[in-house]
Protein backbone atom coordinates (compact mmCIF):
# COMPACT_ATOMS: atom_id res chain seq x y z
CA UNK A 1 0.00 0.00 0.00
CA UNK A 2 2.82 2.44 0.80
CA UNK A 3 2.93 4.88 3.67
CA UNK A 4 1.13 7.70 1.84
CA UNK A 5 -1.69 5.40 0.74
CA UNK A 6 -1.91 3.89 4.22
CA UNK A 7 -2.20 7.34 5.74
CA UNK A 8 -4.91 8.33 3.27
CA UNK A 9 -6.93 5.33 4.39
CA UNK A 10 -6.21 6.06 8.05
CA UNK A 11 -7.41 9.64 7.59
CA UNK A 12 -10.65 8.40 6.04
CA UNK A 13 -11.19 6.06 8.99
CA UNK A 14 -10.39 8.83 11.47
CA UNK A 15 -12.81 11.22 9.77
CA UNK A 16 -15.47 8.53 9.76
CA UNK A 17 -15.01 8.16 13.52
CA UNK A 18 -15.41 11.91 13.98
CA UNK A 19 -18.55 11.89 11.85
CA UNK A 20 -20.03 9.11 14.01
CA UNK A 21 -19.19 11.13 17.11
CA UNK A 22 -20.90 14.19 15.62
CA UNK A 23 -23.98 12.13 14.80
CA UNK A 24 -24.01 10.94 18.43
CA UNK A 25 -23.84 14.56 19.63
CA UNK A 26 -26.61 15.50 17.19
CA UNK A 27 -28.90 13.00 18.89
CA UNK A 28 -27.90 14.20 22.36
CA UNK A 29 -28.41 17.90 21.60
CA UNK A 30 -31.59 17.68 19.52
CA UNK A 31 -34.70 19.44 20.77
CA UNK A 32 -37.80 20.04 18.69
CA UNK A 33 -35.91 19.08 15.55
CA UNK A 34 -33.07 21.56 16.10
CA UNK A 35 -29.77 21.76 17.93
CA UNK A 36 -30.49 23.19 21.35
CA UNK A 37 -27.88 25.57 22.75
CA UNK A 38 -28.84 24.47 26.23
CA UNK A 39 -28.26 20.82 25.37
CA UNK A 40 -25.09 21.67 23.46
CA UNK A 41 -23.75 23.37 26.57
CA UNK A 42 -24.17 20.11 28.48
CA UNK A 43 -21.68 18.55 26.08
CA UNK A 44 -19.23 21.41 25.64
CA UNK A 45 -16.10 19.33 26.20
CA UNK A 46 -16.95 16.78 23.51
CA UNK A 47 -18.16 19.50 21.12
CA UNK A 48 -14.99 21.56 21.58
CA UNK A 49 -12.75 18.53 21.04
CA UNK A 50 -14.58 17.56 17.85
CA UNK A 51 -14.44 21.11 16.52
CA UNK A 52 -10.66 21.13 16.82
CA UNK A 53 -10.21 17.60 15.51
CA UNK A 54 -12.26 18.45 12.43
CA UNK A 55 -10.26 21.66 11.99
CA UNK A 56 -7.09 19.57 12.18
CA UNK A 57 -8.51 17.19 9.57
CA UNK A 58 -9.29 20.09 7.24
CA UNK A 59 -5.80 21.55 7.65
CA UNK A 60 -4.23 18.16 7.02
CA UNK A 61 -6.32 17.64 3.91
CA UNK A 62 -5.32 20.97 2.44
CA UNK A 63 -1.65 20.32 3.16
CA UNK A 64 -1.88 16.96 1.42
CA UNK A 65 -3.59 18.49 -1.61
CA UNK A 66 -0.87 21.15 -1.72
CA UNK A 67 1.80 18.44 -1.69
CA UNK A 68 -0.05 16.64 -4.48
CA UNK A 69 -0.09 19.76 -6.66
CA UNK A 70 3.64 20.21 -6.14
CA UNK A 71 4.27 16.60 -7.07
CA UNK A 72 2.36 17.15 -10.30
CA UNK A 73 4.52 20.19 -11.00
CA UNK A 74 7.62 18.27 -9.88
CA UNK A 75 8.46 21.08 -7.44
CA UNK A 76 9.41 20.15 -3.85
CA UNK A 77 7.04 17.23 -4.01
CA UNK A 78 9.09 14.89 -1.84
CA UNK A 79 9.66 17.39 0.96
CA UNK A 80 6.06 18.56 1.05
CA UNK A 81 4.76 14.99 0.85
CA UNK A 82 6.93 13.91 3.78
CA UNK A 83 5.64 16.87 5.78
CA UNK A 84 2.04 16.09 4.81
CA UNK A 85 2.48 12.43 5.78
CA UNK A 86 3.78 13.39 9.20
CA UNK A 87 0.90 15.82 9.67
CA UNK A 88 -1.56 13.11 8.70
CA UNK A 89 -0.05 10.69 11.21
CA UNK A 90 -0.26 13.26 14.01
CA UNK A 91 -3.87 14.06 13.14
CA UNK A 92 -4.90 10.40 13.14
CA UNK A 93 -3.05 9.88 16.42
CA UNK A 94 -4.84 12.87 17.98
CA UNK A 95 -8.25 11.62 16.86
CA UNK A 96 -7.59 8.09 18.02
CA UNK A 97 -6.34 9.25 21.42
CA UNK A 98 -9.17 11.70 22.06
CA UNK A 99 -12.06 9.54 20.93
CA UNK A 100 -10.84 6.27 22.41
CA UNK A 101 -10.10 7.96 25.73
CA UNK A 102 -13.75 8.95 26.34
CA UNK A 103 -16.03 6.51 24.47
CA UNK A 104 -18.98 7.53 26.65
CA UNK A 105 -18.79 11.06 25.24
CA UNK A 106 -18.60 10.12 21.57
CA UNK A 107 -20.81 7.06 21.29
CA UNK A 108 -20.36 3.36 20.42
CA UNK A 109 -20.26 3.87 16.65
CA UNK A 110 -17.29 6.23 16.97
CA UNK A 111 -15.55 3.74 19.26
CA UNK A 112 -16.05 0.99 16.71
CA UNK A 113 -14.63 3.17 13.94
CA UNK A 114 -11.63 4.01 16.09
CA UNK A 115 -10.94 0.29 16.59
CA UNK A 116 -10.23 0.05 12.86
CA UNK A 117 -7.32 2.46 13.31
CA UNK A 118 -5.64 0.08 15.72
CA UNK A 119 -5.34 -2.62 13.09
CA UNK A 120 -2.54 -3.12 10.59
CA UNK A 121 -1.69 -1.74 8.09
CA UNK A 122 -3.28 1.57 9.20
CA UNK A 123 -1.66 1.50 12.62
CA UNK A 124 1.71 0.66 11.06
CA UNK A 125 1.50 3.57 8.62
CA UNK A 126 0.72 6.01 11.44
CA UNK A 127 3.54 4.69 13.61
CA UNK A 128 6.06 4.81 10.75
CA UNK A 129 5.17 8.39 9.82
CA UNK A 130 5.64 9.48 13.44
CA UNK A 131 9.04 7.89 13.85
CA UNK A 132 11.56 10.46 15.21
CA UNK A 133 13.83 9.80 12.23
CA UNK A 134 11.24 11.38 9.92
CA UNK A 135 11.28 14.62 11.91
CA UNK A 136 15.08 14.58 11.78
CA UNK A 137 14.96 14.13 8.01
CA UNK A 138 12.55 17.05 7.70
CA UNK A 139 14.80 19.23 9.85
CA UNK A 140 17.85 18.37 7.75
CA UNK A 141 15.95 19.37 4.62
CA UNK A 142 14.73 22.58 6.27
CA UNK A 143 18.33 23.46 7.15
CA UNK A 144 19.41 22.78 3.55
CA UNK A 145 16.56 24.78 2.05
CA UNK A 146 16.60 27.59 4.60
CA UNK A 147 12.79 27.67 4.72
CA UNK A 148 9.81 25.65 5.82
CA UNK A 149 8.14 24.92 2.51
CA UNK A 150 6.86 26.22 -0.82
CA UNK A 151 3.91 28.61 -0.69
CA UNK A 152 2.43 27.49 -4.01
CA UNK A 153 1.50 30.95 -5.29
CA UNK A 154 0.97 32.12 -8.84
CA UNK A 155 3.57 34.41 -10.42
CA UNK A 156 1.40 37.47 -9.83
CA UNK A 157 0.73 36.47 -6.23
CA UNK A 158 4.42 35.85 -5.63
CA UNK A 159 5.25 39.34 -6.91
CA UNK A 160 2.73 40.79 -4.47
CA UNK A 161 4.21 38.75 -1.64
CA UNK A 162 7.75 39.85 -2.50
CA UNK A 163 6.71 43.51 -2.63
CA UNK A 164 5.08 43.52 0.80
CA UNK A 165 7.80 41.33 2.29
CA UNK A 166 10.36 43.96 1.26
CA UNK A 167 8.21 46.66 2.80
CA UNK A 168 7.90 44.67 6.03
CA UNK A 169 11.66 44.08 6.14
CA UNK A 170 12.76 47.64 5.35
CA UNK A 171 10.02 49.77 6.90
CA UNK A 172 8.10 47.75 9.50
CA UNK A 173 10.68 45.66 11.32
CA UNK A 174 13.04 48.59 12.05
CA UNK A 175 10.31 50.30 14.13
CA UNK A 176 8.50 47.22 15.46
CA UNK A 177 10.46 46.63 18.64
CA UNK A 178 10.53 50.28 19.75
CA UNK A 179 6.81 50.64 19.06
CA UNK A 180 6.13 47.53 21.14
CA UNK A 181 8.39 48.28 24.08
CA UNK A 182 7.41 51.93 24.41
CA UNK A 183 3.77 51.37 23.43
CA UNK A 184 3.83 53.97 20.66
CA UNK A 185 1.19 54.53 18.02
CA UNK A 186 1.92 53.25 14.50
CA UNK A 187 4.17 55.76 12.69
CA UNK A 188 2.24 57.88 10.19
CA UNK A 189 4.91 57.09 7.60
CA UNK A 190 3.83 53.43 7.64
CA UNK A 191 0.20 54.38 6.99
CA UNK A 192 1.15 56.82 4.23
CA UNK A 193 3.34 54.35 2.36
CA UNK A 194 0.84 51.53 2.64
CA UNK A 195 -1.80 53.90 1.28
CA UNK A 196 0.40 54.58 -1.74
CA UNK A 197 0.81 50.83 -2.26
CA UNK A 198 -2.97 50.41 -2.37
CA UNK A 199 -3.05 48.33 0.77
CA UNK A 200 -6.33 49.74 2.07
CA UNK A 201 -8.16 49.06 -1.19
CA UNK A 202 -7.51 45.33 -1.34
CA UNK A 203 -11.05 44.44 -0.24
CA UNK A 204 -12.79 47.29 -2.07
CA UNK A 205 -13.99 46.99 -5.71
CA UNK A 206 -12.36 49.08 -8.40
CA UNK A 207 -15.56 51.04 -9.00
CA UNK A 208 -15.08 52.53 -5.52
CA UNK A 209 -11.38 53.23 -5.97
CA UNK A 210 -10.11 49.91 -4.64
CA UNK A 211 -7.97 47.21 -6.17
CA UNK A 212 -10.46 44.36 -6.17
CA UNK A 213 -12.04 43.41 -9.49
CA UNK A 214 -15.64 44.55 -9.94
CA UNK A 215 -16.46 41.15 -11.45
CA UNK A 216 -15.00 38.82 -8.83
CA UNK A 217 -13.49 39.25 -5.37
CA UNK A 218 -9.88 38.26 -4.71
CA UNK A 219 -9.39 37.39 -1.07
CA UNK A 220 -6.00 35.82 -1.76
CA UNK A 221 -4.45 39.25 -2.22
CA UNK A 222 -5.71 40.34 1.18
CA UNK A 223 -4.45 37.12 2.79
CA UNK A 224 -0.97 37.36 1.22
CA UNK A 225 -0.50 41.01 2.18
CA UNK A 226 -1.80 40.46 5.70
CA UNK A 227 0.58 37.55 6.29
CA UNK A 228 3.63 39.43 5.09
CA UNK A 229 2.84 42.59 7.06
CA UNK A 230 2.20 40.47 10.18
CA UNK A 231 5.52 38.75 9.65
CA UNK A 232 7.04 42.22 10.03
CA UNK A 233 4.90 43.18 13.02
CA UNK A 234 1.36 42.38 14.06
CA UNK A 235 0.88 45.66 15.92
CA UNK A 236 2.61 48.01 13.51
CA UNK A 237 1.29 46.73 10.18
CA UNK A 238 -0.34 43.29 10.26
CA UNK A 239 -3.72 44.50 11.48
CA UNK A 240 -4.01 47.78 9.62
CA UNK A 241 -6.26 46.43 6.87
CA UNK A 242 -8.48 44.27 9.10
CA UNK A 243 -10.83 47.02 10.24
CA UNK A 244 -11.25 48.54 6.74
CA UNK A 245 -11.98 45.00 5.54
CA UNK A 246 -14.75 44.54 8.13
CA UNK A 247 -16.45 47.86 7.43
CA UNK A 248 -16.06 47.51 3.66
CA UNK A 249 -17.74 44.09 3.70
CA UNK A 250 -20.60 45.44 5.82
CA UNK A 251 -21.10 48.44 3.52
CA UNK A 252 -20.94 46.33 0.37
CA UNK A 253 -23.48 43.93 1.86
CA UNK A 254 -26.02 46.39 3.21
CA UNK A 255 -24.99 50.00 2.70
CA UNK A 256 -26.94 52.41 0.54
CA UNK A 257 -25.50 53.54 -2.78
CA UNK A 258 -24.78 56.93 -1.26
CA UNK A 259 -22.96 55.41 1.73
CA UNK A 260 -20.78 53.28 -0.49
CA UNK A 261 -19.86 56.28 -2.63
CA UNK A 262 -19.17 58.39 0.43
CA UNK A 263 -16.96 56.10 2.49
CA UNK A 264 -15.46 53.33 0.35
CA UNK A 265 -13.28 55.57 -1.89
CA UNK A 266 -11.90 57.39 1.16
CA UNK A 267 -11.15 54.08 2.88
CA UNK A 268 -9.52 52.65 -0.26
CA UNK A 269 -7.23 55.68 -0.54
CA UNK A 270 -6.23 55.45 3.11
CA UNK A 271 -7.72 58.88 3.79
CA UNK A 272 -10.03 57.50 6.46
CA UNK A 273 -8.71 55.02 9.00
CA UNK A 274 -11.27 52.65 10.51
CA UNK A 275 -12.01 51.16 13.93
CA UNK A 276 -14.75 48.70 14.91
CA UNK A 277 -16.84 49.02 18.08
CA UNK A 278 -18.79 45.85 18.79
CA UNK A 279 -17.67 44.40 22.13
CA UNK A 280 -19.07 45.91 25.34
CA UNK A 281 -17.71 45.65 28.90
CA UNK A 282 -20.34 43.01 29.79
CA UNK A 283 -20.96 41.56 26.34
CA UNK A 284 -18.31 40.16 24.04
CA UNK A 285 -19.24 37.34 21.70
CA UNK A 286 -22.77 37.35 23.14
CA UNK A 287 -23.86 40.33 21.04
CA UNK A 288 -27.58 39.65 21.56
CA UNK A 289 -27.44 41.24 25.02
CA UNK A 290 -25.64 44.43 24.01
CA UNK A 291 -26.93 47.67 25.53
CA UNK A 292 -25.11 50.53 23.79
CA UNK A 293 -28.12 52.37 22.39
CA UNK A 294 -29.01 54.57 19.45
CA UNK A 295 -32.21 56.59 19.83
CA UNK A 296 -33.83 58.83 17.26
CA UNK A 297 -33.31 62.55 17.75
CA UNK A 298 -33.62 65.73 15.77
CA UNK A 299 -30.99 65.54 13.04
CA UNK A 300 -30.16 61.84 13.44
CA UNK A 301 -29.43 59.40 16.24
CA UNK A 302 -28.03 59.77 19.76
CA UNK A 303 -25.49 57.15 20.83
CA UNK A 304 -25.18 56.29 24.51
CA UNK A 305 -23.19 53.55 26.17
CA UNK A 306 -19.79 51.91 26.28
CA UNK A 307 -17.70 49.85 23.91
CA UNK A 308 -14.42 48.15 24.70
CA UNK A 309 -11.52 46.57 22.85
CA UNK A 310 -12.05 49.05 20.03
CA UNK A 311 -8.66 48.82 18.33
CA UNK A 312 -7.25 51.94 16.65
CA UNK A 313 -10.21 54.05 17.80
CA UNK A 314 -8.00 57.01 18.70
CA UNK A 315 -6.32 57.37 15.32
CA UNK A 316 -9.37 56.31 13.29
CA UNK A 317 -11.66 58.80 11.59
CA UNK A 318 -14.45 56.23 11.15
CA UNK A 319 -15.79 53.85 13.80
CA UNK A 320 -18.19 51.08 12.86
CA UNK A 321 -20.51 50.86 15.89
CA UNK A 322 -23.05 48.13 16.60
CA UNK A 323 -25.84 49.69 18.68
CA UNK A 324 -29.30 48.78 19.91
CA UNK A 325 -31.95 50.68 17.98
CA UNK A 326 -34.85 48.71 19.45
CA UNK A 327 -35.05 49.04 23.26
CA UNK A 328 -36.95 45.75 23.53
CA UNK A 329 -34.23 43.41 24.80
CA UNK A 330 -36.36 40.39 23.90
CA UNK A 331 -35.57 41.20 20.25
CA UNK A 332 -31.94 40.25 21.03
CA UNK A 333 -29.76 40.48 17.91
CA UNK A 334 -32.73 41.55 15.78
CA UNK A 335 -32.78 44.87 17.61
CA UNK A 336 -29.25 45.86 16.60
CA UNK A 337 -28.10 48.19 13.82
CA UNK A 338 -24.74 49.39 12.50
CA UNK A 339 -23.62 53.02 12.40
CA UNK A 340 -20.57 54.69 10.91
CA UNK A 341 -19.38 57.28 13.41
CA UNK A 342 -17.12 60.05 12.08
CA UNK A 343 -14.60 61.74 14.38
CA UNK A 344 -11.26 63.57 14.24
CA UNK A 345 -8.06 61.50 14.58
CA UNK A 346 -6.26 61.61 17.94
CA UNK A 347 -2.82 60.47 19.03
CA UNK A 348 -1.90 59.15 22.44
CA UNK A 349 -3.59 56.85 24.91
CA UNK A 350 -6.60 59.04 25.77
CA UNK A 351 -8.88 61.28 23.76
CA UNK A 352 -12.11 63.24 24.08
CA UNK A 353 -14.31 64.61 21.33
CA UNK A 354 -17.06 67.05 22.32
CA UNK A 355 -19.85 68.23 20.03
CA UNK A 356 -21.36 71.71 20.01
CA UNK A 357 -24.68 70.30 21.16
CA UNK A 358 -23.12 68.68 24.24
CA UNK A 359 -22.47 65.21 22.90
CA UNK A 360 -19.28 63.50 24.02
CA UNK A 361 -17.10 60.60 22.92
CA UNK A 362 -14.20 59.66 25.16
CA UNK A 363 -11.61 56.93 24.76
CA UNK A 364 -9.02 55.36 27.02
CA UNK A 365 -6.37 52.95 25.75
CA UNK A 366 -6.26 49.61 27.58
CA UNK A 367 -2.79 48.44 28.55
CA UNK A 368 -1.97 45.06 26.97
CA UNK A 369 0.92 42.60 27.11
CA UNK A 370 1.23 42.56 23.33
CA UNK A 371 -0.44 43.69 20.09
CA UNK A 372 0.78 47.22 20.66
CA UNK A 373 0.99 49.96 18.07
CA UNK A 374 -2.70 50.36 17.31
CA UNK A 375 -3.91 50.68 20.94
CA UNK A 376 -7.23 49.12 21.96
CA UNK A 377 -9.66 51.55 23.56
CA UNK A 378 -12.58 51.61 25.91
CA UNK A 379 -15.10 54.08 24.48
CA UNK A 380 -17.90 56.03 26.14
CA UNK A 381 -20.68 57.68 24.14
CA UNK A 382 -22.79 60.32 25.89
CA UNK A 383 -25.63 61.83 23.84
CA UNK A 384 -23.31 61.64 20.84
CA UNK A 385 -25.23 62.75 17.77
CA UNK A 386 -24.67 61.04 14.42
CA UNK A 387 -26.58 62.07 11.27
CA UNK A 388 -29.33 60.03 9.64
CA UNK A 389 -26.98 58.74 6.95
CA UNK A 390 -24.70 57.19 9.60
CA UNK A 391 -27.16 54.26 9.86
CA UNK A 392 -25.81 51.65 7.47
CA UNK A 393 -28.53 50.73 5.01
CA UNK A 394 -30.78 53.59 6.12
CA UNK A 395 -34.26 52.54 7.24
CA UNK A 396 -33.73 49.20 5.48
CA UNK A 397 -30.74 48.59 7.74
CA UNK A 398 -32.68 48.82 11.00
CA UNK A 399 -32.39 45.57 12.92
CA UNK A 400 -29.88 44.11 10.48
CA UNK A 401 -26.73 45.19 12.29
CA UNK A 402 -25.88 41.74 13.60
CA UNK A 403 -25.94 40.26 10.10
CA UNK A 404 -23.95 43.12 8.61
CA UNK A 405 -21.24 42.92 11.25
CA UNK A 406 -21.10 39.14 10.80
CA UNK A 407 -20.53 39.69 7.08
CA UNK A 408 -17.57 41.85 7.98
CA UNK A 409 -16.27 39.60 10.73
CA UNK A 410 -16.17 36.58 8.43
CA UNK A 411 -13.45 38.33 6.44
CA UNK A 412 -11.85 39.49 9.66
CA UNK A 413 -11.54 35.91 10.87
CA UNK A 414 -9.90 34.85 7.63
CA UNK A 415 -7.51 37.76 8.08
CA UNK A 416 -6.77 36.62 11.63
CA UNK A 417 -5.66 33.26 10.28
CA UNK A 418 -3.36 35.09 7.85
CA UNK A 419 -2.05 37.26 10.67
CA UNK A 420 -1.33 34.17 12.76
CA UNK A 421 0.51 32.61 9.80
CA UNK A 422 2.69 35.70 9.49
CA UNK A 423 3.62 35.82 13.16
CA UNK A 424 4.30 32.08 13.19
CA UNK A 425 6.50 32.38 10.11
CA UNK A 426 8.53 35.15 11.73
CA UNK A 427 8.95 33.09 14.90
CA UNK A 428 9.98 30.01 12.94
CA UNK A 429 12.59 31.91 10.92
CA UNK A 430 14.13 33.39 14.07
CA UNK A 431 14.17 29.98 15.76
CA UNK A 432 15.79 28.30 12.75
CA UNK A 433 18.52 30.95 12.56
CA UNK A 434 19.21 30.84 16.29
CA UNK A 435 19.28 27.03 16.36
CA UNK A 436 22.11 27.08 13.82
CA UNK A 437 24.07 29.78 15.65
CA UNK A 438 23.67 28.75 19.29
CA UNK A 439 26.05 26.02 20.46
CA UNK A 440 25.82 23.85 23.58
CA UNK A 441 28.29 21.12 24.45
CA UNK A 442 30.25 22.17 21.39
CA UNK A 443 27.45 21.60 18.87
CA UNK A 444 24.73 23.79 17.31
CA UNK A 445 21.44 23.04 19.03
CA UNK A 446 19.96 22.23 15.62
CA UNK A 447 22.08 19.06 15.69
CA UNK A 448 20.03 17.69 18.58
CA UNK A 449 16.93 15.55 17.89
CA UNK A 450 14.60 17.49 20.18
CA UNK A 451 15.34 20.79 18.44
CA UNK A 452 14.96 19.10 15.07
CA UNK A 453 11.59 17.71 16.16
CA UNK A 454 10.40 21.15 17.27
CA UNK A 455 11.44 22.90 14.06
CA UNK A 456 10.01 20.18 11.82
CA UNK A 457 6.65 20.37 13.62
CA UNK A 458 6.67 24.16 13.46
CA UNK A 459 7.23 24.14 9.70
CA UNK A 460 4.58 21.44 9.23
CA UNK A 461 1.90 23.22 11.26
CA UNK A 462 2.57 26.60 9.66
CA UNK A 463 2.34 25.15 6.17
CA UNK A 464 -0.87 23.29 7.02
CA UNK A 465 -2.39 26.48 8.43
CA UNK A 466 -1.25 28.53 5.44
CA UNK A 467 -2.69 26.13 2.85
CA UNK A 468 -5.94 25.92 4.82
CA UNK A 469 -6.09 29.72 4.84
CA UNK A 470 -5.47 29.90 1.09
CA UNK A 471 -8.21 27.35 0.46
CA UNK A 472 -10.73 29.33 2.52
CA UNK A 473 -9.77 32.53 0.68
CA UNK A 474 -10.63 30.79 -2.59
CA UNK A 475 -13.96 29.68 -1.08
CA UNK A 476 -14.71 33.29 -0.13
CA UNK A 477 -14.10 34.29 -3.74
CA UNK A 478 -16.98 31.98 -4.69
CA UNK A 479 -19.28 33.34 -1.99
CA UNK A 480 -18.77 30.29 0.24
CA UNK A 481 -16.71 29.30 3.26
CA UNK A 482 -18.25 31.30 6.11
CA UNK A 483 -18.01 28.42 8.56
CA UNK A 484 -14.59 27.44 7.21
CA UNK A 485 -13.43 31.01 7.89
CA UNK A 486 -14.25 30.51 11.56
CA UNK A 487 -12.64 27.06 11.53
CA UNK A 488 -9.32 28.20 10.07
CA UNK A 489 -9.24 31.13 12.50
CA UNK A 490 -9.77 28.67 15.37
CA UNK A 491 -7.03 26.35 14.11
CA UNK A 492 -4.42 28.97 13.22
CA UNK A 493 -4.92 30.90 16.45
CA UNK A 494 -4.51 27.82 18.59
CA UNK A 495 -1.34 26.51 16.97
CA UNK A 496 0.22 29.99 16.80
CA UNK A 497 0.69 29.97 20.55
CA UNK A 498 2.52 26.64 20.44
CA UNK A 499 4.75 27.67 17.53
CA UNK A 500 5.72 30.97 19.13
CA UNK A 501 6.22 29.31 22.49
CA UNK A 502 8.61 26.78 20.99
CA UNK A 503 10.48 29.47 19.07
CA UNK A 504 10.92 31.27 22.37
CA UNK A 505 12.02 28.06 24.07
CA UNK A 506 14.66 27.37 21.42
CA UNK A 507 16.16 30.74 22.32
CA UNK A 508 16.45 29.67 25.95
CA UNK A 509 17.00 32.55 28.33
CA UNK A 510 17.35 34.97 25.45
CA UNK A 511 13.81 34.14 24.38
CA UNK A 512 12.64 35.76 27.59
CA UNK A 513 14.60 38.94 26.89
CA UNK A 514 12.79 41.80 25.18
CA UNK A 515 15.79 42.50 22.99
CA UNK A 516 14.93 39.36 20.98
CA UNK A 517 11.90 39.53 18.69
CA UNK A 518 10.56 36.12 19.74
CA UNK A 519 9.38 37.50 23.06
CA UNK A 520 7.15 39.93 21.13
CA UNK A 521 5.88 37.20 18.82
CA UNK A 522 4.85 35.15 21.85
CA UNK A 523 2.76 37.88 23.50
CA UNK A 524 1.33 38.95 20.14
CA UNK A 525 0.24 35.39 19.34
CA UNK A 526 -1.74 35.23 22.55
CA UNK A 527 -4.36 37.64 21.22
CA UNK A 528 -5.42 35.53 18.22
CA UNK A 529 -7.59 33.15 20.24
CA UNK A 530 -9.37 36.10 21.86
CA UNK A 531 -10.24 38.70 19.23
CA UNK A 532 -12.48 38.34 16.16
CA UNK A 533 -14.46 35.73 18.09
CA UNK A 534 -13.18 34.06 21.24
CA UNK A 535 -11.86 30.54 20.72
CA UNK A 536 -14.51 28.87 22.88
CA UNK A 537 -17.44 30.67 21.25
CA UNK A 538 -16.16 29.94 17.75
CA UNK A 539 -15.56 26.29 18.60
CA UNK A 540 -18.94 25.72 20.26
CA UNK A 541 -21.43 28.15 18.77
CA UNK A 542 -20.09 28.26 15.22
CA UNK A 543 -17.87 25.32 14.25
CA UNK A 544 -19.28 22.52 16.42
CA UNK A 545 -22.88 23.66 16.00
CA UNK A 546 -22.53 23.75 12.22
CA UNK A 547 -20.91 20.32 12.17
CA UNK A 548 -23.62 18.86 14.41
CA UNK A 549 -26.39 20.39 12.30
CA UNK A 550 -24.82 18.87 9.19
CA UNK A 551 -24.59 15.49 10.92
CA UNK A 552 -28.27 15.70 11.84
CA UNK A 553 -29.23 16.45 8.22
CA UNK A 554 -27.21 13.51 6.95
CA UNK A 555 -28.89 11.20 9.46
CA UNK A 556 -32.41 12.40 8.56
* Residue ranges matching CATH 1.20.140.10 in the chain: 3-130, 411-534
C-alpha to C-alpha distance for 283 and 287, rounded to whole angstroms = 6
Coarse DSSP helix, strand, coil percentages of the chain, rounded to the nearest 5 percent: 65, 15, 25
pLDDT digits (tens, 9 = 90+) for 208-260: 999 888 888 888 999 999 999 999 999 999 989 889 989 999 999 999 999 99
Q: Which pLDDT does position 113 carry in this prediction?
A: 87
Q: Is the pLDDT of residue 18 over 60?
A: yes
pLDDT band per the 50, 70, 90 thresholds, residue 440: confident
What is the bridge-based pairing of β-strands 300-311 and 350-354?
A: unpaired
Q: Which pLDDT does position 500 carry in this prediction?
A: 97
Q: Measured between alpha carbons, how far is residue 196 from residues 189, 285, 405 in Å?
A: 11, 35, 28
Comparing 2-6, 44-48, 219-223, 550-554, the range with the smallest average pLDDT is 2-6
- The beta strands (E) that lie in 318-452 are given as 318-324, 336-342, 350-354, 360-366, 376-387, 439-440, 443-444
**Superfamily name with CATH number, domain 411-534:** Butyryl-CoA Dehydrogenase, subunit A, domain 3 (1.20.140.10)
pLDDT digits (tens, 9 = 90+) for 301-318: 999 999 999 999 999 999
Beta carbons within 8 Å of 332's beta carbon, 6+ residues apart: 288, 289
pLDDT averaged over every residue in the chain: 91
Q: Which pLDDT does position 1 carry in this prediction?
A: 52
Taking each helix axis from N to C end, the angle separating 449-477 and 77-101, rounded to the nearest 10 degrees, works out to 90
Beta carbons within 8 Å of 368's beta carbon, 6+ residues apart: 376, 527
pLDDT digits (tens, 9 = 90+) for 57-110: 999 999 999 999 988 877 656 899 999 999 999 999 999 999 988 888 999 999
Helix residue ranges per DSSP H, 149-256: 155-167, 173-182, 188-196, 219-232, 242-254
Beta carbons within 8 Å of 115's beta carbon, 6+ residues apart: none
pLDDT band per the 50, 70, 90 thresholds, residue 290: confident
Give domain 3-130's CATH architecture.
Up-down Bundle (1.20)
At 293, give phi and psi (nearest 5°). -110, 155
pLDDT digits (tens, 9 = 90+) for 453-512: 999 999 999 999 999 999 999 999 888 888 899 999 999 999 999 999 999 999 999 898
Q: Which pLDDT does position 72 carry in this prediction?
A: 83
> Is 532 a residue of the active site?
yes
Global confidence as pTM: 0.93
Please identify which of the residues 56, 484, 532, 535 carries the catalytic annotation: 532
Between these two residues, 133 and 126, which has the higher pLDDT value? 133
Amino acid sequence: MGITGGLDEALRAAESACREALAHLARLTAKNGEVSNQELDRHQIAAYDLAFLMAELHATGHLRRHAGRLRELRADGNFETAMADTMAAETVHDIRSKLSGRPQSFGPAAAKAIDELSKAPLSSAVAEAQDPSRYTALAIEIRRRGDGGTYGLSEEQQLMRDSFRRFAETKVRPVAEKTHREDHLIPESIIAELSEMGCFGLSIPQRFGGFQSDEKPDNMGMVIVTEELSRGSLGVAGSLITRPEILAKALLKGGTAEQKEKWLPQMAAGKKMVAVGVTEPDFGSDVAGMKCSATRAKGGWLLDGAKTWCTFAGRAELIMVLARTDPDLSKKHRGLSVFVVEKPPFEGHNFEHRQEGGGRLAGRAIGTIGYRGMHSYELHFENFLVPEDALVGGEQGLGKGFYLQMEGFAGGRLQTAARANGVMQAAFEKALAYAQERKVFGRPILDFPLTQHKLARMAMLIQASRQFTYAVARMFDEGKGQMEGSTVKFFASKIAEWVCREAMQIHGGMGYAEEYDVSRYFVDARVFSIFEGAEEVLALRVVARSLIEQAAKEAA
